[in-house]
Homo-oligomer: A and B are copies of this chain.
Amino acid sequence: MLTREACEALDRNDPLKDKRDLFALPDGEIYLDGNSLGVPPKAALARLQHAAETEWAKGLIRSWNDAGWMDLPLTLGAKLARLVGVEPQEVIAVDTVTINLFKLATALLARDGGAIATEAGEFPTDNHVMEGVARITGAPMHRVAPNTRPADLPEGVTVFIKSAVHYKSAEIADFEGYEAEAKARGLNIIWDLSHATGLVDLKLKAWGARYAVGCGYKFLSGGPGAPAFLYCAEDQIGTLEHPVSGWLGHKRPFGFEDAYEPDDSIVRWRTSSPSILALSALDGAVSAYDGVDMAQVEKKAIALGDILLEKAEALGLEHACPGRGQRRGGHVVLRHEQGYAIVQALIARGIIGDFRAPDLMRFGFNPLYNSYADVFDAAEALADVIETRAWDAPEFLARKAVT
């Protein structure tokens, strides 16, 4: 088993080691929940303050042009494009994951007809919003078993929603295999990149992916409820019209025309005036990825997870995620019937993870700011909490509402 000294040596040799100082890390805490809400990069806080106190307060209405507000969904989209492996003009920062799933799914159904498929156990919003899509479009909806492959989907399915990284299990999808099967039967996959962007070495274009949505507030650390993004392959943009056709997707928004005419570019996926404050924070946040090789990020995430998994094995804990050395998303999931109380006891010691019913403890690792030593210390604390039954105290056992 790795010693703390060995972890410190790994940190010293870490090609990402300089990134940690870019983040406003909480004092005295080891934050392992960046898969849910990332720690703010200092540049996100600075950019936000500049947007508020200079661009808004001083520039006022002029900043729509002079501070680049109008184009921010596109300039930010171009930065996100690099992180997911597509062309700059194929991504727009816009709306939320749920709304973007709705937009893409309804547009694809309008173009191709057919039915929708989602997986049981997917992140809830993916299932929920597709029920709404089915209701409004009249398209049949199939909820299939987890990990049903495109080739095995029911007859008639044209739109399939699939998480790149599963929010609970951290399993990574077989992107290329899925896309090949999807194309063979003329099916569209909408990839939900929420738990993958900023962590997994995504090569969407190379894998043949044409549609995706992603989240700004997890590994990207863009702030609570940060704007989402939407990817649509350039050769598909002109073939799709979404129904939430607001004025800022218009070809001439400042023509103030009655009739809608969608822009020819990725701009057609824009809906309405976006929060510039929220976009600015995310824009500042993604600067933490400047010069970063995503392959190194993914590799380090696995190595960090392996440290905790090794300790879990020694403690006799079952894991509910891919095991040591295996490709997985940025979190590790351990089972314990007292998982809730254990997570609370760890939080009391400044080690922040989260709990998912009924018995899953989730610990997320952001390779840009979590060190090997962080994870070593967290693993030691976990062992101590379990071995000393520190979790067995009224303040840890009493359940609060969980978010």
Residues of A in contact with B (beta carbons under 8 Å apart)? 24, 26, 31, 33, 36-37, 39-40, 45, 48-49, 52-53, 55-58, 60-65, 69-70, 95-99, 102, 106, 110, 120-125, 127-129, 131-133, 135-137, 143, 217, 223-227, 241-250, 253-260, 271-279, 281, 352, 354, 356-357, 400-403
Contacts and interface: CB of A to CB of B under 8 A. Distances in A.
A237 B96 CA distance: 23
A403 B136 contact: no
Given A58-B26, A69-B224, A246 B135 contact: no
A249 B125 CA distance: 10
Nearest to A24: B57
Contacts of A401: 65, 254
B276 A225 contact: yes
B277 A48 contact: yes
Contacts of A124: 247, 250, 253, 256-258
A30 to B, nearest CB: 12
Contact of A254 (B55, B225, B403): B403
Number of copies: 2
A224 B276 contact: yes
By CB atoms of chain B within 10 A, which of A26, A39, A102, A125 has the most?
A125
Nearest to A347: B62
A247 B274 CA distance: 21
A108 to B, nearest CB: 12
Given A48-B277, A260-B132, A96 B272 contact: yes
A31 B57 contact: no
A250 B128 contact: yes
A144 B245 CA distance: 19
Contacts of A272: 96-99, 125
A125 B258 contact: no
A136 B106 contact: yes
Contacts of A273: 96, 217, 224-225
Contact of A52 (B45, B244, B257, B276): B45
B96 A271 contact: yes
By CB atoms of chain B within 10 A, which of A96, A106, A352 has the most?
A96
B57 A39 contact: yes
Nearest to A134: B243
B247 A125 contact: yes
A250 to B, nearest CB: 6
A256 B128 contact: no
